Amino acid sequence: MAGVAVTCEVCEGKRYEEGVLAHRLGGRDISEVLGMTVDEAAAFFAGGEARTPAAHRVLVRLADVGLGYLRLGQPLTTLSGGERQRLKLATHLGAKKSPALYVLDEPTTGLHLADVAQLLALLDRLVDNGTSLIVVEHHQAVMAHADWLIDLGPEAGHDGGRIVFEGTPADLVANGKTLTAHHLRSYTAPSGTAGGEISPSSV
């Protein structure tokens, strides 16, 4: 049977004793802070009585990887694979020495188009700082943005696994015969849904 959740009658679901909830920062108790989204918390810790530069820096990194909508107290078990990858990426961004190589597997999963653009801008900054990126991705915006594509096919599963194209996105659109080429050509065409264009990039 499925589990049953019952709200505590004493703390009313806040998960803290009265003595803990009595402490406030910027007029908020700990349960109210954990109920904030990353974006809300970044503004909260940016100035005023609650100003905490260290917390603000961490929250800005989370927003940079497109996780501004997550709540601070949200259990990790509720995050998607793409969200967990971006969370890990945010922790590496704060390291004193960034690794020379990132391998990301479908980091756009669950992202809105506007958040995909934000993620691509972040990946551009990483590359500009000397980091190498390998991104396993089906999202057409990411493919169109890449410096170099390796297309595996000709189809999926048992019918794939071979390199069917290797080169720039522009070359794939111009000369490719693969399924990826077909879809990317539609994506980048002026009449396409996204109306995107392929241009030199850093990813």
Q: What is the mean pLDDT of each run of 10 residues along the chain (203 residues)?
A: 85 89 94 96 96 95 90 91 84 69 86 83 85 92 95 88 94 93 89 48 41
Q: Comparing C-alpha atoms, which of 37, 188, 201, 195 is closest to residue 121?
A: 201
Residue 119 CB partners (closer than 8 Å, separation 6+): 65, 66, 86, 107, 108, 111
Q: For position 202, what pLDDT does the model report?
A: 38
Q: For position 198, what pLDDT does the model report?
A: 54
Answer whether 0.85 is exceeded by the pTM. Answer: no
Please answer whether residues 113 and 142 qualify as being in contact, where contact means their C-beta atoms are separated by less than 8 angstroms.
no
Q: What span, in angstroms and rounded, lies between the C-alpha atoms of 87 and 79?
A: 10
Q: For position 26, what pLDDT does the model report?
A: 94
Q: For position 200, what pLDDT does the model report?
A: 41
Q: For position 59, what pLDDT does the model report?
A: 96
